[in-house]
Amino acid sequence: MHVPDGFINAPVSVAAGVTAAGAVAVSLRGARRELGGSAVALVGAERTAPLAGLVAAFIFAVQMLNFPVAAGTSGHLLGGALAAILVGPYTGVLCIAVVLLMQGILFADGGLTALGVNITVMGVVTVVVAYALFRGLVKVLPRTRRSITVASFVAALASVPAAAGAFTLIYAIGGTTNVPVGKVLTAMVGVHVLIGIGEAVITMLTVGAVVAVRPDLVYGARGLTTPLKLRVGGELVDAEPAATAPVAARSPKKLWATGLVTALALAGVASFYASASPDGLEKVAADQGIDRHVAEHAAAGSPLADYGVKDVSDARISGGLAGVIGVGATVVAGSGVFYAVRRRRTDEPASAPVRETV
């Protein structure tokens, strides 16, 4: 996964280096806040170096932990998503960047000129994608321990192919070899979806293990603690809230509504103006004659085939309509699954005595 020297040309490497340097500078500032601890805000600056250093050493060590897959093959963790969830996005970027820097200088793993590319792809993209997804899911899902593990699974699953996509983008701009971009994309994303599944399972299990023992250490699970209750005269009374109450999270309903409206607007309106030419991969396939033998998709006869509504003649309106219907169907299916899961979870405690281990 480490990009060597000479893979990406010099100007793009420099540009990626500048991007990475900016991201690291921002992370240095943000990490101070994340590692500052909850009670005393003043000690942030001096806590950063030891804690981030030890977390970087942990990432470095855990990358050497082999997970056997089958018959002699084994994989290891990349750690971007794990770092983001356990210690927060800024510290995560910082730790991965330091690990990559040391691997480049000491172990010659990944080229020195490709350091910017490596940090951007494996550090920044992975952590940002993973953390954004994780936060979004934690906001939407019910506030339980299991939704933390589910969210970390999804976040890690998406982060690896996202990094592969980012690499392909950089390659498309500044690659020194002329493998067609479409081929690189399919190969990279295809392989990394598989890697992502492994990464997701391991990340989920690891986060689950930490949450079970020290939930206070998991940055992504902050604010998950239930309010303290006091038993006064036989009945439960809310305890006095702590002095530094966490900032109230925005209502997930509002977030949902905004997201839904945006998605509908994008799908319905933007696809009016979207280019009607085939996308890159389809184009490469067409140019190379790969798609000559491709059978028509099984759903080609369905009313929404090829993103257009069948009996509407105007191409643009048809495309927009198909977009809106698509978003609606996705939302309905998604919420159906979500509510089914939630109902099962609320039923569970009543039907079976669940042993909670802390």
Closest CB to another protein among 189 and 309? Answer: 189
Q: At 321, which amino acid appears?
A: L
Q: Does 357 bind another protein (CB under 8 A)?
A: no
> Environment class of residue 1 by beta-carbon count within 10 Å: exposed (0-12), middle (13-18) or buried (19+)?
middle
- Under rule CB under 8 A, residue 78 binds another protein: no
Interface of this chain with another protein, residues 245 to 304, rule: CB under 8 A:
288
Residues 295-354 that bind another protein (CB under 8 A): none
What are the two backbone dihedrals, phi and then psi, of residue 301, each rounded to the nearest 5 degrees?
-85, -5
Q: How far is the CB of 338 from another protein (least distance, A)?
A: 26
- Taking contact as CB under 8 A, which single stretch among the options 68-76, 272-280, 303-311, 341-349 is the one that binds another protein? 68-76
Residue 140 found at the interface with another protein (CB under 8 A):
no
Q: Is the distance from CB of 75 to CB of 83 less than 8 angstroms? A: no
Site string for another protein, 7-36 (x = CB under 8 A): x-xx--x----------xx--x--------
Site for another protein in 80-99 (CB under 8 A): 86-87, 94-95, 97-99
Greatest Cα-to-Cα distance within the chain, rounded to the nearest angstrom = 80
Burial-class residue 31 by CB neighbours within 10 Å (0-12, 13-18, 19+). buried
148 contributes a contact to another protein by CB under 8 A: no
Any alpha helices (H) in the chain, and if so which ranges?
10-34, 44-62, 80-87, 89-106, 115-118, 126-140, 145-174, 181-213, 252-265, 271-273, 280-288, 315-351
Among 15, 19, 30, 109, binds another protein (CB under 8 A): 109
Task: Return d(Cα 266, Cα 261) in angstroms, integer.
Answer: 8
Kindly tell me which of 61 and 332 has the beta carbon lying closer to another protein.
61
Query: For residues 15 and 264, which CB has a smaller minimum distance to another protein in the complex?
Result: 15
Given candidates 41, 45, 269, 286, which one binds another protein under the rule CB under 8 A?
A: 45
Amino acid residing at 284: V
| Contact residue for another protein among 180, 215, 252, 280 (CB under 8 A) | 180
End-to-end Cα spacing for the chain: 37
The site for another protein, by CB under 8 A, has a size of 72
Least distance CB 80 / another protein (angstroms): 14
Q: Identify the residue among 33, 146, 214, 343 touching another protein (CB under 8 A).
A: 214
> 271 with 326: CB under 8 angstroms?
no
Nearer to another protein, 5 or 291 (CB): 5
Q: Which is nearer to another protein, 219 or 309 (CB)?
A: 219
Nearer to another protein, 87 or 121 (CB): 87
Q: How far is the CB of 353 from another protein (least distance, A)?
A: 23
Question: 251-285 burial string, b = 16+ CB within 10 Å, else e?
Answer: eeeeeeeeeeeebeeebbeebeeeeeeeeebeebb
Which residue in 41, 49, 257, 332 binds another protein (CB under 8 A)? 49
213 binds another protein (CB under 8 A): yes
Contact 85, 134 (CB under 8 A): yes
**Contacts for 76 with CB less than 8 Å, ≥ 6 apart:** 62, 63, 64, 65, 66, 67
Give the pairing of strands 229-232 and 73-75: unpaired
Closer by beta carbon to another protein, 48 or else 147: 48
Residue 104 CB, nearest distance to another protein (Å)? 7
Instruction: Pick from 22, 53, 303, 336 the residue near another protein by CB under 8 A.
Output: 53
Least CB distance to another protein at residue 220 (A): 13
- DSSP for 250-314 reads PPHHHHHHHHHHHHHHIIIIIHHHS--S--HHHHHHHHHTGGGGPPPPTTTTSTTGGGS-TT---
